[in-house]
């Protein structure tokens, strides 16, 4: 007897109306798609690297030409502002462009020497890669590893979060219309039962999971039972540390933009600031001044800051504010929701670790200020967190940063810079944001990178961002066509 087909509703988070019904794929359907991916892999892996690069160039050009169609689909299922979605698509195309540029150099065979011997290094694809995401924030989360897997000769099975399924199906449609080989990129819609079937499939060679720690623990259990290779990209937390030698004007501007530019849209933005006790009052004054100059005017216009695009987010914000106030937290700025569901970004002091939002990796726009008295206390506090990823130091004392970096369990450290998206930034071996790696010369060490400008003591770069206006949207869209053609 044929099993009854099941569906899940794709709901508009703003109106709570059902915009589509998509199938929860059953075991047999999943097996058929994975078999197709495996058959496609046999062909795709034999194709010359140069041809694979040209195939992905075809897709990039098609995506660039038809980006408005994709943007419409993302807005439909996420209720994000148009310029936020354009930014996601910009990152996606930019990343694909970078992958295409470095692929030939990275994946071509290499000759190496050791003592009196020579040997050749070949890079071979591993098979069908399952890419699973529980992240609601961005299609970029899924597409970045997908492009890397494809260009290196693997085929890809994608299981998106239910709230990103329409957008990913549109990407699949673009692959078909661009004339890319059938079966190398597939999208499987469904719930966690679909994820389990992918994990159990014998023909899957590796799993890449992006999402939250709770679901990751379930995935790790299943993968460990069958020794399935697993790579994790979990919740991260970007932290700023401000010393008394910092340029406070520049620091305040950078922190506010890093904290509030994409609130609610990504899982990777600034939430915590640790400031040396002697300059706490000076920093608070600087943040207030920068906030009033850069943010309050825009908030009154309701053009672009911190749009709560679902009832779920509004409820989460209201409960968070109530919890903070009940635990004697104090906001020096922000904390209200307007009639149009825009929220004024919040700057919180007098926080304590028992506040609920600090126990999770919430994307609500709440910037929390903590003070520290000694470097030893700071290191102990930061290493005690389950979230790890990147730290930005604001200082003129570079020796102090290198000294602290040895003890901090974070993979990337910036000096006088905010975190930014970069293919060369890696996370491995640090806390729950770590990524597993294949066995190589770096398998049993932990890597750190410290980024700083050549003239790190001179603050030259200006922070910029753009309002959510139709005119600015048009400028950015045209710039994309020029940059990535």
- Using DSSP's 3-state secondary structure scheme, residue 107 falls into helix
Rounded distance between C-alpha atoms, residue 47 and residue 479, angstroms: 33
| Region for 434 from its dihedrals, namely left if φ exceeds 0, alpha if ψ lies in -120 to 50, beta otherwise | beta
pLDDT tens figures, 328-376:
888 888 777 766 666 677 889 888 888 888 877 676 778 899 999 999 9
Tell me the average pLDDT across 470-481: 78
pLDDT tens figures, 108-156:
887 877 777 888 888 888 999 999 988 766 777 789 889 999 999 999 9
Could you give the percent of the chain with pLDDT greater than 70? Answer: 79
Q: Determine how many CB atoms are found less than 10 A away from the CB of residue 223.
A: 18
Q: Determine how many CB atoms are found less than 10 A away from the CB of residue 467.
A: 13
Tell me the average pLDDT across 213-242: 84
> Residue 95 — very low, low, confident or very high, per pLDDT cuts 50/70/90?
confident
Query: Which of the listed ranges 216-220, 463-467, 473-477 does the model predict with the highest average pLDDT?
Result: 216-220
Residue 246: what are its φ and ψ, rounded to 5°? -75, 160
Tell me the average pLDDT across 319-326: 89
482 DSSP β-pair partners: none
What is the pLDDT, as a whole number, of residue 406? 82
What is the pLDDT, as a whole number, of residue 452? 61
Query: What angle in degrees, to the nearest 10, is found between the helix axes of 82-107 and 470-483?
Result: 10
- Could you tell me the domains of the chain? 11-234 (3.40.605.10), 238-473 (3.40.309.10)
| Region for 127 from its dihedrals, namely left if φ exceeds 0, alpha if ψ lies in -120 to 50, beta otherwise | left
Residues 6+ apart with CB under 8 A from 51: none
Higher pLDDT, 24 or 266: 24
Which range has the worst mean pLDDT, 27-31, 169-173, 365-369, 440-444? 440-444
The predicted model scores a pTM of 0.76
Measuring CA to CA, how many Å separate 338 from each of 261, 305, 341, 405, 482? 18, 11, 5, 42, 38
b/e 285-308 (16+ beta carbons within 10 angstroms → b): ebbeebbeebbeeebeeebbbbbb
Which range has the worst mean pLDDT, 130-134, 238-242, 478-482? 478-482
What is the pLDDT, as a whole number, of residue 297? 59
| Residue 439 pLDDT exceeds 60 | no
What is the pLDDT, as a whole number, of residue 423? 33
What is the pLDDT, as a whole number, of residue 473? 75
Within its chain, how far is the Cα of 392 from the centroid? 17
Tokens of 55: 């195939």
> Residue 421 — very low, low, confident or very high, per pLDDT cuts 50/70/90?
very low
Could you give the percent of the chain with pLDDT greater than 90? Answer: 28
Cβ distance 375 to 404 under 8 Å?
A: yes
> Residue 267 — very low, low, confident or very high, per pLDDT cuts 50/70/90?
very low
Q: Cα torsion at 152, 154, 159, 160 (round to 10°)?
A: 20
- Rg, Å, the chain Cα set: 23
| Residue 58 pLDDT exceeds 60 | yes
Higher pLDDT, 89 or 435: 89
112 DSSP β-pair partners: 119
Higher pLDDT, 287 or 342: 287
pLDDT tens figures, 68-77:
999 999 888 8
Torsion sign over Cα 283, 288, 289, 290: positive
Q: Report which of 198, 180, 181 is spatially closest to residue 189, judged by C-alpha positions.
A: 198
What is the pLDDT, as a whole number, of residue 53? 93
What is the pLDDT, as a whole number, of residue 139? 79
What is the pLDDT, as a whole number, of residue 111? 81
Cβ distance 181 to 55 under 8 Å?
A: yes
């Amino acid at each position: 007897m044929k099993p009854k087909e099941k569906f899940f509703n794709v709901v508009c988070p703003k109106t709570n109306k059902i915009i589509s019904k998509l199938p929860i794929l059953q075991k047999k359907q999943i097996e058929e798609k994975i078999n197709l991916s495996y058959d496609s892999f046999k062909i795709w892996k034999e194709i010359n690297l140069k041809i694979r690069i040209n195939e992905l160039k075809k897709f990039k050009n098609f995506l660039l030409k038809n980006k408005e169609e994709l943007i419409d689909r993302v807005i439909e299922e996420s209720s994000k502002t148009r310029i936020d979605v354009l930014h996601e698509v910009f990152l996606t195309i930019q990343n694909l462009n970078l992958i295409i540029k470095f692929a030939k150099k990275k994946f071509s065979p290499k000759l190496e020497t050791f003592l009196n011997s020579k040997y050749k290094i070949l890079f071979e694809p591993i098979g069908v890669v399952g890419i699973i995401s529980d992240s609601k924030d961005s299609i970029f989360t899924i597409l970045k590893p997908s492009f890397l897997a494809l260009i290196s000769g693997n085929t890809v099975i994608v299981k998106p979060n239910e709230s990103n399924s329409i957008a990913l199906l549109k990407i699949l449609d673009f692959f078909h219309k661009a004339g890319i080989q059938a079966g190398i990129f597939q999208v499987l819609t469904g719930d966690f039962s679909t994820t389990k079937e992918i994990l159990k499939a014998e023909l899957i060679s590796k799993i890449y999971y992006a999402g939250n720690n709770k679901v990751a623990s379930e995935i790790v259990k299943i993968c460990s039972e069958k020794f399935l290779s697993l790579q994790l990209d979990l919740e991260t937390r970007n932290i700023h540390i401000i010393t008394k030698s910092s340029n406070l004007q520049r620091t305040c501007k950078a922190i506010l933009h890093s904290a509030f530019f994409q609130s609610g849209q990504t899982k990777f933005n600034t939430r915590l600031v640790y400031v040396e006790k002697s300059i706490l009052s000076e920093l608070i004054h600087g943040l207030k001044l920068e906030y009033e100059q850069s943010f309050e005017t825009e908030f009154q216009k309701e053009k672009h800051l911190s749009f709560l695009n679902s009832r779920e987010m509004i409820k989460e914000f209201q409960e968070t504010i109530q919890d903070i106030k009940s635990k004697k937290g104090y906001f020096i700025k922000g904390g209200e929701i307007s009639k149009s569901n825009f929220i004024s970004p919040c700057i919180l002091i007098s926080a304590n670790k028992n506040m609920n939002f600090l126990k999770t990796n919430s994307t609500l726009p709440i910037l929390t200020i903590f003070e520290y008295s000694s470097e030893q206390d700071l290191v102990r506090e930061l290493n005690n967190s389950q979230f790890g990823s990147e730290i930005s130091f604001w200082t003129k004392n570079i020796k102090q940063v290198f000294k602290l970096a040895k003890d901090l369990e974070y993979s990337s450290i910036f000096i006088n810079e905010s975190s930014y998206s970069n293919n060369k930034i890696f996370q491995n071996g640090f806390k729950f944001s770590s990524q597993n790696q294949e066995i190589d010369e770096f398998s049993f060490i932990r890597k750190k990178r410290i980024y700083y400008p050549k003239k790190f003591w001179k603050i030259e770069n200006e922070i910029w961002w753009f309002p959510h206006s139709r005119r600015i949207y048009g400028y950015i869209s045209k710039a994309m066509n020029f940059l990535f053609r």
